[in-house]
């Protein structure tokens, strides 16, 4: 768990002051912040949970996951591979991936991404770095919520409030992806993509197996003549399937193929953002900031990029074995301050508060 470790010496930021994500260094008078008590309240790592976000879309996503899982298990793994070693291994891996993906999905839905405390106020006396408005240079303030915005927080029009470290509002979870559920969102993408690729491979493998068996059956029928049907032979077994199962497999493949392609693309994109410690909003802000910096003849660097290891630690936590387990929904920190790569040379300096 991080703490606002504020040091009095800090290097000058390398980015242009006119960059999209602007930071302002405050006067080094005191580091006692009125927001310190707020940080202490949020640092307990207990995110708020709400079950009111379950809607038709969320149930639809759950239905698709269950449909693909049970179709692959009941129509492919058990009839085809049965309880052989490959069958048990495939069943185990698919169940593990799907189970963790479901748990992470439910976390994404029910966990509040992070609210700005009602009495949050940036401390102008602290020797810290604050995000400021791009044009006026003033500390960011949300007119709709009538309160200050911590660094990386943005107002969500759907949720009608500011969200800490807002990444984007996701209609599939009927919730914002923010500070408290970002790790769960990333793990959901990883495990659901692995499960989708696995399921699609099993569906395609079974379809190829069925086509091969069908061809062998026809060859056998041709050799033995019209009266010599291969009743009872092993070649007929895969052809004796229920028509309903065949339709379900076809439907399942039709759903899985575009879904898997979309998930792989989404995962690659989000991994790219994660290894640079950028939210989706910050990516777009960074594009604008880079153009402005190029025009001004300066350089722009994302302020929260801590390097590959630092970024992964910031998102997944300090415990390496827990990186790929949904042991906690929230990323490290309290959501009101974040370490900045601009100060990496000066040590663990926090940004915000
Ligand atoms: Zn707001
Ligand atoms: Zn939202």
Q: What is the pLDDT of residues 207-250, one digit of tens each?
A: 998 888 878 877 776 666 554 444 444 444 444 556 888 889 99
pLDDT above 70 coverage of the chain, percent: 71
- The Å distance, Cα 290 to ligand 2 centre, comes to 27
Contacts with 314 (C-beta within 8 Å, 6 or more apart), sequence order: 277, 304, 306, 331, 332, 333, 338, 339
pLDDT in tens, 70-109: 999 998 999 888 888 999 999 999 999 999 999 999 999 9
What is the DSSP code (8-state) at residue 130?
E
Name the pTM for this structure.
0.78
Residue-range domain boundaries for the chain:
22-352
How many Cα atoms within 13 Å fall on the side-chain side of residue 291? 5
Mean pLDDT of 243-263: 92
Asked if pLDDT for residue 45 goes beyond 50, the answer is no
Report DSSP letters for 161-201, one per residue: EEETT--EEETTTTEEE-TTTHHHHHHHHHHHHHHHHHHHH
Asked if pLDDT for residue 17 goes beyond 60, the answer is no
Six token digits for residue 302 = 């994302």
Q: Tell me, what's the pLDDT at 125?
A: 60
Asked if pLDDT for residue 38 goes beyond 50, the answer is no
Contacts with 334 (C-beta within 8 Å, 6 or more apart), sequence order: 2, 39, 42, 43
Rounded-to-integer distance, Cα 332 and Cα 190, Å: 19
- The Å distance, Cα 148 to ligand 1 centre, comes to 8
pLDDT category of residue 198 using cuts at 50, 70 and 90: very high
Bridge partners, residue 325, by sequence: none
CB contact at 8 A, 175 and 181:
yes
Asked if pLDDT for residue 343 goes beyond 60, the answer is no
Q: Return the ligand number nearest the Cα of 161.
A: 1
Most confident of 184-193, 279-288, 296-305: 184-193
Asked if pLDDT for residue 8 goes beyond 80, the answer is no
- The Å distance, Cα 124 to ligand 1 centre, comes to 21
Six token digits for residue 148 = 């200050």
Q: Tell me, what's the pLDDT at 219?
A: 76
pLDDT in tens, 47-65: 677 788 899 999 999 999 9
- The Å distance, Cα 170 to ligand 2 centre, comes to 7
Looking at per-residue confidence, does 329 or 202 come out higher?
202
- The Å distance, Cα 178 to ligand 2 centre, comes to 9
Q: Tell me, what's the pLDDT at 215?
A: 82
Contacts with 155 (C-beta within 8 Å, 6 or more apart), sequence order: 142, 144, 145, 149, 161, 162, 163
Write down the catalytic residue from 170, 176, 309, 316.
Answer: 170
Phi-psi group of 296: left, alpha or beta (phi > 0 → left; psi -120 to 50 → alpha; rest → beta)? alpha
Placement of tokens 């390398």 in the chain: 14
Q: In the predicted model, what is the mean pLDDT of the chain?
A: 78
Q: Return the ligand number nearest the Cα of 156.
A: 2
CB contact at 8 A, 112 and 47:
yes
pLDDT above 90 coverage of the chain, percent: 41
Q: Return the ligand number nearest the Cα of 150.
A: 1
Does 170 qualify as catalytic in the annotation? yes
Q: Return the ligand number nearest the Cα of 167.
A: 2
- The Å distance, Cα 79 to ligand 1 centre, comes to 54
CB contact at 8 A, 155 and 141:
no
């Amino acid at each position: 768990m991080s703490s606002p470790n504020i040091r009095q010496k800090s290097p000058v930021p390398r980015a242009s002051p006119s960059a999209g994500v602007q930071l302002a260094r405050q006067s080094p008078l005191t580091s006692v912040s009125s927001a310190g008590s707020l940080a202490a309240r949020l640092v307990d790592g207990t995110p708020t949970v709400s079950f009111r976000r379950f809607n038709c879309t969320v149930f639809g996503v759950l239905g698709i996951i269950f449909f693909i899982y049970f179709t692959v298990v009941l129509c492919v793994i058990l009839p085809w591979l049965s309880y052989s070693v490959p069958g048990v291994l495939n069943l185990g891996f698919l169940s593990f991936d799907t189970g963790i993906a479901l748990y992470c999905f439910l976390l994404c839905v029910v966990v509040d991404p992070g609210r700005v405390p009602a009495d949050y106020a940036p401390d102008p006396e602290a020797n810290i770095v604050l995000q400021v408005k791009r044009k006026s240079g003033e500390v960011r303030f949300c007119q709709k919520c009538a309160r200050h915005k911590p660094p990386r927080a943005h107002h969500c029009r759907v949720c009608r409030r500011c969200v800490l470290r807002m990444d984007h509002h996701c209609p599939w979870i009927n919730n914002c992806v923010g500070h408290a559920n970002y790790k769960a969102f990333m793990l959901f993408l990883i495990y659901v993509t692995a499960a989708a690729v696995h399921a699609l491979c099993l569906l395609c493998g079974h379809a190829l197996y069925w086509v091969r068996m069908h061809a062998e059956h026809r060859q056998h029928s041709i050799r033995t003549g019209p009266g010599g049907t291969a009743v009872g032979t092993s070649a007929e077994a895969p052809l004796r399937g229920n028509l309903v199962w065949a339709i379900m497999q076809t439907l399942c493949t039709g759903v899985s193929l575009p879904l898997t392609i979309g998930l792989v693309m989404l995962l690659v994109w989000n991994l790219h953002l994660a290894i640079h410690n950028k939210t989706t909003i910050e990516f777009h802000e960074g594009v604008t900031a880079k153009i402005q910096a190029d025009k001004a003849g300066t350089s722009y660097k994302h302020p929260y990029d801590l390097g590959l290891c630092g970024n992964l630690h910031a998102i997944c936590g300090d415990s390496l074995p827990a990186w790929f387990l949904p042991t906690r929904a929230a990323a490290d920190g309290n959501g009101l301050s974040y370490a900045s790569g601009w100060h990496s040379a000066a040590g663990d300096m926090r940004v915000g508060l």
